[in-house]
Structure 1
């Protein structure tokens, strides 16, 4: 969300200004030195079959706003034991990236997980990397409504297991103390990881009842309990089935500080009670902070048994988790409590318009996404078969609940979106049960207070560069090895010629050199006396991934029984279609290709890697007589690209498109405007302009690629006899397949079977003051009767959107689907 600058408030109970400034300054220094990035994945669906593609959009944030820290993101596909099955590496554009995985056809487990992170995030606890577990439908037997599968690898806070049901206790503030009324929270889950409703009593060793408890929301609840020194306690309780269990409670501490928090509409009220056993007052420090900023601090001098009750205002705070920590006089933490603030300033609201919809077989549909604001927004849109996408997932985790709530908590939160989106006040207040029953310890206070700052192992990375090292050269020759010539081979297209200086350590680099997939590179030294002895190794300079680090406690999202019924019918239909299986088969149907346009032939001749294809404008400059009369490529482009503003004159040339400057490339290498300004139009063969976002370096606001005629020069006839190596670059992006049934040339044959569960996927919809609407066209498959539309995204100033809409006829609304 938007960044806030908070003013610290100091409670006048023996607090010195110097102390307040000290802890505030230390916290600020730590937060600035150790920013925390987060990754969120928007998936096209909530459940999949083996053999299908999982499409995703990755959003990377830093303190709620799009992150400018990292330049790449890593997304991994994990099996049910946390082993890496596949890994994608992608450059970040607009602090986001898109990609896909194919769920292996041979996969047998009922769940599969995705993990996403930046290299910089690995400096911190791996539990705070992004994890998402999804159901594999066709490996799952039909289950009763609401059932799921749980994967457990971590140890709970305080756990007692009875008959497969876990009952965990969480004393408020961390511990309860002998003789002090304490609030104790609890959370009960079944063997499937889902909440279990329980009720019971707390009895002492003599069997005397001391408290009663009953869950009030998703297996969670609280009770007030006053332990007595030397006495032990246990909970006697029953689960929903009426089965009786007995669970011992953890022991109380003989002394310490109790901390409780109560919420009002615009304030938090804290109560502190000290049990010290001393005759003199004991000093404690209390701070409240959010987002790494301290906004409240009090120093408390408390007598044994003394209680302090005070409040701090939350109306001006950013929404999210507020942490209240109590320290002793030596600044050692003794109690901590988290609480949630919701001031509802973090959302924006794009509109979804169904311009025309038809549910007939292979009918054309059109949606419009609209958002009118001065700030740029970055959105992703999915359209799926509503009967094959779990309705329970509507209350599950999404971009808002994740960035605001669950990404800062350990453990699984059941239906987190309901706590934020539900307008019923009692439900929104029940989020405090989540605060009491989920672990939290983002900050190591010893590090902050004593300035024992750790050394970062993983620094923020940069975009891909071609890096190489020369080996086997005699020491006397390493002082001057000259340059190395490189010839790229993309498989038959025009080859690129590069050169790089070799330093005295034998290293060379071509910065910002992008490769998607793999590329063979031939090389030759300028100094012929290096030919015989030297060998070369080249690399992309990218991080190679984190490896197998296991999974945190992860619960697969619940699958409604109606979805399993539709899935069973769907699988029967699949088997009845002679082996034709969904999108995979539609995409591989052989269709006679139409005659290629001159622009397509030019693109095949010149463009390679991420510059191939794409959405934009193409100009055959070599065969355009008007081009030869232009003084520069910028003069030629003026008025030819909608929305592109080019300013020339006595000063440097500037370009603006959709609120930013597009990336500039000469023969696919990044250059500045002055370089292109000096290129003679007689040397230009082809110009390609990419609409935003373009995946190249600096392409968040689009890209302009200039190809020169000298690029036509053939490589030496014998260049393939040169030494060579293969460089692996970013994961090659795949295009979402969406058949065009309106086109006779490209439409699949009428006797084919179209069973696509995902009808449309567009990971990049960029809206701003000049582009406020985006029209999205797609065709229905052969069976879908209801569409589920999901839009998620983020604005440049850190507001988030999640919107779902079911598009259906009145008949399907009444019957609940097909």
Structure 2
């Protein structure tokens, strides 16, 4: 790894030995120095999550341990102390969040509860620190899991998902697919980044169908006259490569798939000037690359730099001439993903690519497992001896092999060394760690050409394209409350305004005071607090009649990425290698205490007191469990309101928000023409009043996917389509305008279902109930008028660290064997080896497991990824 002192010494030596333009050399050396300095000052972070299982059922818990490391060497020592873990449903909505404390070793552990989901499907778990969000979603951890339906009976595990597709049932909020897909599609990836006129180049390509699946096809490169210049074919991953000759115009690539379908695609437009980089896969002990340039670049002094996970490994200056060639011994280069960049004196990239060097396996990377239990018995004790590096810390999971319905995903090694460095999902990532032969080298070369994502933007590091400080998310080395004071009118000041913060929960409270900066920003540091606290922010504004908004920064999660069809499928399950045999006779003969025998029903008691109808009784009637039972879609309106306020926006009307939030909702929401808007009402009080607005926001003609909507307000039938009302008794419909939420903050929750019979028990027209095709929308209100917002004051919440749950299992040394349907037999997020490198694990089997699968993963203090084979 090149150091700053070495770089300056190398500069002087190069100046003495190189006859060139001193200003050009100074510019190149300045770029190199800035890159080395920046990569040391702004070290990126990585996070990997180890889970207790590979697939889940609704109602279970998802246990995990997080390993947060420096990207440059994968060692602990990150500055961040706050980790965010989110669960996203198939449509891309965040349905659960966890905020965890990262300890000094870079570890954190927690759990996600799957008992409040509204459908089975493929759910995504992602994890990131606030600092990671500076580099977008590609810098965050992400993994997709199948979540199956709740078993119909305890222990009846069957991998069944919803029959209805999420793509049709829910709006899609994931990132748009940038490729305009047809039945046959191809994307081109010139080696080095671009084609240059007059220079031969290798071009990788990826062939896919309309659903994004790989297509194996034959291709031909045609010139402007239709002559075949060269040929190329894609493999089973849809990837291939061909060579573009130096003198061809109007190039197009003609593809023929296995069904005989033919389609032509134009190549990207070439640049008139520039350089090309060629680094073909080498099958010997060396690695060679070459650079060629157009006439304007051949006599210029250029530079190249080799980086490995953000560490500058080597750099040099050169002249292209008729072609620059450089070779290295493979053993002299760092293992894993490397980034080779060719640049000019301004710091602009001329050509760049990634390449992968096979990491040599080491016996110390493996966690050995030896069973000290010869046979499995129902509810019997299992004892395992683990061997690894002395003093190492890792997480351990034991699963019932008979209930594992999804194969293994990426391991800690494959994620840290490969998956986190490329863009998109890698199908069968373990393949690239199997061998270092010519077949695997060629496959990894195609992977780097097609999915090579640059974790470090070299032009940003070199200062050629600096990033604005306002766009930068800070390192959260503790808990913070940050945000901005915004004014509706630009003439109102936001700088130097005193701001007070109060954080309180129960009998505990914290407070602080500060002045906003020139942009109205503020930041309060908090000690470690756990759970949810109340937060009040108050600005000392002198013009009380003016409007100020206080925002809170907590919406910095990356957008939901587009999922690959290959990660939205169950992986094949491989046989277990744990040498434990079931004692068949004991499984068949051992009596087990059933669940019903362990339950004791309390005797019924007759209550003779008269029932009092109070607000509490109304709350019991209006419980959200009715909507939850039917729900396909759920919205927390309080959280949605906070989102608008966090972004410095006015609280929208309820129906206006619903249409913006869910594109399936349509219709003239306000009973007025299309020019009507909430802003007109709020800003022109002389023309409209709040009562007028309430009259215009009745849900009279709102549609969902073109179907009528049955509105159930606080579990009472409220309204339906006006066309239907014309044929029914309107006196049976509850339509008090004041009751229906006018603004978003007046609603508490919304549940939407397309089930045809969800509204039957509420519908007052018995004769029409089975003839109506409608969507049911359950709305739960706060039963209060619109809450008045005090100027310059924000009342909200602050989420401290979430308290991780404790994994529990029965102790069969104290109780008789019983029916036990645990799928995760044992989970320990913090196993430590002793001075001899050993650790003992003991747990109890369930009542039916005949095959145990074990997953053990961790990261050592020196950055090595350890795991069980």
TM-score, normalised relative to structure 1:
0.63
Match of 2:33 among 7, 25, 42: 25
Q: Would the alpha carbon gap of residues 152 and 287 (structure 1) be closer, same or farther in structure 2, given more than 3 Å must change?
A: farther
1:107-164 superposed Cα distances (whole Å, 9 cap, x missing partner): 3252111111112212222321111111223499889xxxx9999955778x57441x
Q: Would the alpha carbon gap of residues 466 and 129 (structure 1) be closer, same or farther in structure 2, given more than 3 Å must change?
A: closer
Match of 1:98 in 2: 109
Aligned partner of residue 439 in structure 2, secondary structure: helix
1:300-347 superposed Cα distances (whole Å, 9 cap, x missing partner): 3345xx222221345344322221122235432121111113343786
CA RMSD of aligned residues (A): 4.6
Match of 1:246 in 2: 264
What is the CA-CA distance between 1:767 and the residue it aligns to?
2.5
Q: Would the alpha carbon gap of residues 465 and 22 (structure 1) be closer, same or farther in structure 2, given more than 3 Å must change?
A: closer
Match of 1:79 among 89, 96, 99: 89
What is the CA-CA distance between 1:417 and the residue it aligns to?
2.1
Q: Distance in 1 between matches of 2:328 and 2:523?
A: 58
Match of 1:781 in 2: 846
1:590-649 superposed Cα distances (whole Å, 9 cap, x missing partner): 899xxxxxxxxxxxxxxxxxxxxxxxxxxxxxxxxxxxxxxxxxxxxxxxxxxxxxxxxx
What is the CA-CA distance between 1:553 and the residue it aligns to?
4.1
2:761 paired with 1:743: no
Q: Distance in 2 between matches of 1:728 and 1:329?
A: 47
Q: Distance in 2 between matches of 1:353 and 1:381?
A: 14
Aligned partner of residue 447 in structure 1, secondary structure: helix
Aligned partner of residue 462 in structure 1, secondary structure: coil
Indicate if the aligned counterparts of 1:237 and 1:246 stay in contact, CA closer than 8 A: no
What is the CA-CA distance between 1:558 and the residue it aligns to?
4.0
Indicate if the aligned counterparts of 2:304 and 2:341 stay in contact, CA closer than 8 A: yes
Q: Distance in 1 between matches of 2:504 and 2:558?
A: 37
Match of 2:821 in 1: 755
What is the CA-CA distance between 1:80 and the residue it aligns to?
1.6
Q: Distance in 1 between matches of 2:313 and 2:46?
A: 23
2:134 paired with 1:123: yes
Match of 2:328 among 307, 312, 322: 312
Q: Distance in 1 between matches of 2:458 and 2:558?
A: 29
Aligned partner of residue 430 in structure 1, secondary structure: helix
Q: Distance in 2 between matches of 1:234 and 1:725?
A: 57
Q: Distance in 1 between matches of 2:290 and 2:422?
A: 23
Match of 1:658 in 2: none
Q: Structure 2, unaligned stretches of length 5 or more?
A: 151-157, 483-501, 517-521, 536-550, 575-593, 603-794
Aligned partner of residue 82 in structure 1, secondary structure: coil
Q: Mapping of 1:145-224 within 5 angstroms?
A: 153-154=174-175, 161-163=181-183, 165-191=184-210, 193-216=212-235, 218-224=237-243
What is the CA-CA distance between 1:422 and the residue it aligns to?
3.8
Q: Distance in 1 between matches of 2:422 and 2:504?
A: 50
Aligned partner of residue 556 in structure 2, secondary structure: coil
Q: Distance in 1 between matches of 2:338 and 2:807?
A: 41
What is the CA-CA distance between 1:299 and the residue it aligns to?
3.0
Match of 1:327 in 2: 343
Q: Distance in 2 between matches of 1:326 and 1:775?
A: 52
Indicate if the aligned counterparts of 1:466 and 1:512 stay in contact, CA closer than 8 A: no
Q: Distance in 2 between matches of 1:13 and 1:504?
A: 56
Indicate if the aligned counterparts of 2:203 and 2:244 stay in contact, CA closer than 8 A: yes
2:50 paired with 1:38: no
Match of 1:418 among 425, 431, 440: 431
Q: Distance in 1 between matches of 2:223 and 2:523?
A: 73
Q: Distance in 1 between matches of 2:182 and 2:802?
A: 47
Indicate if the aligned counterparts of 1:176 and 1:182 stay in contact, CA closer than 8 A: yes
Match of 1:338 in 2: 354
Aligned partner of residue 287 in structure 1, secondary structure: strand
What is the CA-CA distance between 1:501 and the residue it aligns to?
9.0
What is the CA-CA distance between 1:198 and the residue it aligns to?
2.2
Match of 2:856 among 791, 799, 806: 791
Match of 2:244 in 1: 225
Q: Distance in 2 between matches of 1:381 and 1:273?
A: 52
1:242-295 superposed Cα distances (whole Å, 9 cap, x missing partner): 5444333333334421111134655431111112368x7344332222233333
Match of 2:474 in 1: 459
What is the CA-CA distance between 1:403 and the residue it aligns to?
1.2
Match of 2:392 in 1: 377
What is the CA-CA distance between 1:409 and the residue it aligns to?
1.6
Indicate if the aligned counterparts of 1:149 and 1:193 stay in contact, CA closer than 8 A: no
What is the CA-CA distance between 1:381 and the residue it aligns to?
1.1
What is the CA-CA distance between 1:96 and the residue it aligns to?
1.2
TM-score, normalised relative to structure 2:
0.60
What is the CA-CA distance between 1:199 and the residue it aligns to?
2.2
